Amino acid sequence: MSQGAKKFWRAWDKFGVFAILIVIAAVFAILNPAIIQFDQILDVLSRSALIGVAAAGMMFAICSGGFDLSVGSILSLTTCVIAVTISKNNMPVWLAIVIALVIGCLCGVINGLLITKLKIQPFVATLATQLAFLGVALVYSDGSRVTISGGAGDAIKALSTSKVGPFQIQIFLLLLVYVIVYLIYKFTPFGVKTRAVGSNEAATRTTGIKVDKTLIIIYVITGLTAACAGVIQTSRLATGSATLGNGFELDAITAVILGGTSLAGGKGNVWGTLIGAIILTFVRSGLNMLGVGEAYQKLAIAIILLFALAISGIKLITQKEGK
């Protein structure tokens, strides 16, 4: 790889996702200046928590050389668990949330065991559990939308409507998650092991690192963050449904890839993932304000995913040719 190419990709790794955000913001500002008003920006940041929290866990999975296609179903399942346990079983809101988070972790354990013990490829394993977890959500909710009403509904909604000054509480939740993820990824042995597994799993095994344990923990984290996203979604809608997570896994994956995490594994980008989630939310919000329909919004997200995949692919090809 030439020195010029190396400099370009180093610059892209640092600033590429920020440049994309600036360009998209500028385009929407021209089309409708109201989109970049302060209140609207705060709303976008708050809404970014849904994708952003799940993408934080997904980053570990992709950095390790894997995927988790079950996060959308985990989100759906946790919304159903919270809604049903509160509305039909009269369970306290806090306990319903704790149970939902534990279930998210258990889903991650199942994914991790399928991948490490049965040696099933992550794509195939999580595709199977995507259907399994969705089936459980459908059975548990009787295939219907379950609404949380009364005081419990107000309590769960407070998780999304509460503010500190002009800032919604979910903005602080999002930042807290990313600070924790950054510290884990950058400064703990687990972060080092994740990068090592993604770079070369076979070589990592020869060093004595417990690769299987590391992978199981990675998928537990992914399941936990997907469940957290389920809590966020439930707090916004006061509703649980098996359909709420449809296609959500692609949003999380897009945010991670757009943020600069390598598809080949071994290299993650924590803050880039956060910006990727903000970009996706900003695009959806902007298109909504412009009156663009849901179908075209999905098309826009698909184009962004293809762009991110193309950039990642070109970078990998360039690096291989330069060796």
Q: Which letter does DSSP use for residue 102 in this model?
A: H
What is the tens place of the pLDDT at every residue in 111-157? 999 999 999 999 999 999 999 999 999 999 999 999 999 889 999 99
Please report, for the chain, the start and end positions of each structural domain, with discontinuous segments joined by +: 49-269
Q: Quick check: 196 pLDDT over 70?
A: yes
What are the residue ranges of helices labelled H in the chain? 3-31, 38-63, 71-87, 93-116, 122-140, 150-161, 169-187, 189-199, 201-206, 211-237, 248-258, 270-289, 294-321
Task: Check pLDDT > 70 for residue 159.
Answer: yes
pLDDT of residue 96: 96
What percent of the chain lies above the pLDDT cut of 70? 97
Q: Which two tokens stand for residue 234?
A: 């439930």
CA distance 312 to 272: 14
Residue of 306, 307, 290, 275 whose CA lies nearest to 44: 275
For the segment 240-286, what is each residue's pLDDT rounded down to a tens digit?
Answer: 999 999 999 999 999 999 999 988 889 999 999 999 999 999 999 99
Residue with structure tokens 């990998």? Answer: 316
Judge contact between 86 and 156, C-beta under 8 A. yes
End-to-end C-alpha distance for the chain, whole angstroms = 7
141, 80 Cβ separation under 8 angstroms: yes
**pLDDT for the residue 8:** 76
* 8 A C-beta contact, residue 250 and residue 305: yes
Please report the pLDDT score of residue 239 as a whole number: 95
- List the one residue out of 49, 58, 19, 7 whose CA is nearest residue 268: 58
Give the C-alpha separation, 274 to 278, whole Å. Answer: 6
Region of residue 185 (left: phi > 0; alpha: psi -120 to 50; beta: else): alpha
Mean of all residue pLDDT scores within the chain: 92
Q: Which has the closest alpha carbon to 54: 176, 224, 181, 225?
A: 225
The helix (H) or strand (E) run that includes residue 166 is none
* Mean pLDDT for the stretch of residues 48-58: 97
Structure tokens at 209: 């690192």
Q: What one-letter code names the amino acid at 98?
A: V
CA dist 155 and 144 (Å) reads 22
Task: Report whether pLDDT(314) > 90.
Answer: no
> Taking the complete model, does pTM exceed 0.85, yes or no?
yes
DSSP per-residue string spanning 217-244: HHHHHHHHHHHHHHHHHHHHHSEE-TTT
pLDDT for position 323: 55
For every residue of 22-77, DSSP letters joined together read: HHHHHHHHHH-GGGGSHHHHHHHHHHHHHHHHHHHHHHHHHHTT---TTHHHHHHH
Contact 90, 271 (CB under 8 A): no
